[in-house]
Structure 1
Amino acid sequence: MNPKFLIINCDDFGQSSPMNQAIMHLLEERKVSSATIMAPAPGFEEAAEWCKRRGQSNIGLHLTLTSEFKVLRWKSLTDHASLHDDRGYMHPTVEAFERNADTRAVLQELEAQYEKVIRYGFPITHADNHMGSLYGMATGRSHIPHVLRKCVKWGLPFRLFRKVHPADPLLSSIPGVERTVAKASALAGALGVTIPDYLLSHPFAVEEGETYESFKKMMIAKMYNLPDGIVETYIHPGVADPFTQSHIPHWEKRVWEYRLMLDDDFAYALKDAGVVLTDYRYLQEHGRVSRIRSAWALAWELLRK
């Protein structure tokens, strides 16, 4: 059996202490590949200090332009008015961000978040984006070309994907997603920014009738059906915390994701299915594509009607 290479990334590192507790535990136990840290969020200092003490070498940058919860809010680092809602916090929805954010202010904020993280002295291995706010999914206003140029400057891979897996219930349902992915991945390749082959998602919220056992069964089935190439999936693990369980929507799902990574059944499934946990350092070394071919592919996509 040929090995299947999987990156399991913990998003939202630094969002809050209950998130940090879960993510730090999973990183310590090497149950996940990596985590991406949120520079503007209230739990950032706790997470960053921990990474610095340990010399953690598998932490990425979770570029954050939205603040979605009513009881847990954060502001931009650069304090530009276009990045904030009428309460002075980052916009609560992707649509509000896309409609209101000034492009120059977005680029300044991305740079400020990068600079804040690197000041702590641990290496950054990759970048991704909180809530997909840079992808243009709500109104079509995409910042992907800008963020890819930032990744060129920073020398970082970025969370995009070359292909849409037909079994992915979220990504495959987006109208026109394959054409959009073809253009974005070709641009990444032409710029020399390394990206995964596939991104596998699952519903963020607890679905009607869903239980931990049904969620586990679904995730284990994915391990036996991974496509060839370097695949990424992401989780948002958190510990069971009375305040967040009462005030943060679908916190129960975060507890399930934390529990799943520690579940012996899931560990057995990874081994039995021939899945090798890897990270963005492996992707950076083995996931490069021809820049010339990517440039031709981009030109073709741009000329297509």
Structure 2
Amino acid sequence: MSLKYLIINCDDFGQSPPMNRAIIHLLEERRVSSATIMAPAPGFEEAAEWCARKGRDNVGLHLALTSEFDAVRWRSVTGHPSLHDESGHMPRTVEEFELRADAAAVVRELDAQYEKAARAGIRLSHADNHMGSLYGTATGRSFIPQALRLCAKRNLPFRLFRKVYPGDPLLSDIPGVERAAAKASALAGIMGVAIPDYLLSHPFHMREGETYDQFKREMIGKLYVLPEGISETYIHPAIEDARMLEQVPHWRKRVWEYQLMLDDDFSFALKDAGVMLTDYSYVREHGGRSRIGSAFRLARELMRN
């Protein structure tokens, strides 16, 4: 049996109808592992109705504290003023969120987003975070403990990672990321929250001169060097849409991600590379760690200079 397990998660489910149609198609065709839904976003009701009607058990919660695109913006579920900018929407950037947000309001908002999804009839499989706003990457103000508390209370796995895959285009360039991952993963173990081993990222934006074939080769190449253990990568698939192509930066990259999941070359490469596509039910079963061992690991990290 393969020891290389991969979760392909569709972020931003509920963002807009063009994204909903792409994600629903990929889930129905079993081309991806899972999706995570955004409770505050304008397309939430459409996505949630489909999840409840189909009885899906592989849709998680995409905790959203930011609203980055002028063409598609949203307010918080709770309406707390510290969670909004001058326009009355959630902040455009992670930095603005970290600087503005009241900690107690963040906790209430996370709970409210969970409850909204649960009331809609979604059997949530896990949780993750839109734009990494809870990770403290902009100013160092992290809300990871609060997110883990929600997951521990609701018995949800969470998108974190134990190790940084060498050469990851986003994570490996963050100063101190390995120590931060070690502390966060140890805290998850103490709280009984299951997590993957690795998080594989790729650039959200289209690079100058980039083509679909180049993008496809890079993504397929990663399958052949996938580390052993449980890895997750995330995509933001969307269908062609004239308004979104004009008004949302790098929408074309989202269309490419949708196209890639339907590409027979990608499906062949998964099998050829010995990669087992899995979902967060596997993380729930195999992604936990001893609470006592995790406590020792956290203490060791905290005592390091």
Q: Which TM-score bucket, shorter chain as reference?
A: over 0.9
Please identify, of 22-31 and 148-157, the stretch whose mean Cα deviation from structure 2 is larger.
148-157
Contact 2:2 2:276 in 1 (8 A): no
In structure 2, what is the Cα distance between the partners aligned to 1:207 and 1:245?
A: 16
Asked if residue 44 in structure 1 is aligned to residue 44 in structure 2, the reply is yes
5 Å-filtered alignment, 1:170-249, equals 170-249=170-249
5 Å-filtered alignment, 1:1-305, equals 2-305=2-305
In structure 1, what is the Cα distance between the partners aligned to 2:200 and 2:60?
A: 18
Q: Secondary structure at the match of 1:85?
A: coil
Q: CA deviation at 1:146?
A: 1.1
Post-superposition Cα deviations, 1:34-53, rounded to whole Å, max 9, x if no partner, equal 00000000000000000111
Moved over 2 A (4+): none
Post-superposition Cα deviations, 1:56-97, rounded to whole Å, max 9, x if no partner, equal 110000000000011211000111000000010000100000
Contact 2:3 2:229 in 1 (8 A): no
TM-score (norm 2): 0.99
Instruction: Give, as a single letter, the amino acid of the residue that structure 2 aligns with 1:288.
Output: G
Q: CA deviation at 1:190?
A: 1.0
Q: CA deviation at 1:20?
A: 0.1
In structure 1, what is the Cα distance between the partners aligned to 2:287 and 2:11?
A: 21
Instruction: Give, as a single letter, the amino acid of the residue that structure 1 aligns with 2:273.
Output: A
Contact 2:7 2:278 in 1 (8 A): yes
Post-superposition Cα deviations, 1:184-217, rounded to whole Å, max 9, x if no partner, equal 1111111111000000000000011211000000
Q: Secondary structure at the match of 2:12?
A: strand
Kindly tell me the number of residue pairs found equivalent between the two proteins. Answer: 305
| Structure 1: runs of 5 or more not aligned | none
Q: Secondary structure at the match of 1:125?
A: coil
Q: Secondary structure at the match of 1:253?
A: helix
In structure 2, what is the Cα distance between the partners aligned to 1:3 and 1:240?
A: 36
Post-superposition Cα deviations, 1:240-274, rounded to whole Å, max 9, x if no partner, equal 00000010000000000000000000000001011
In structure 2, what is the Cα distance between the partners aligned to 1:163 and 1:132?
A: 17
Instruction: Give, as a single letter, the amino acid of the residue that structure 1 aligns with 2:292.
Output: I
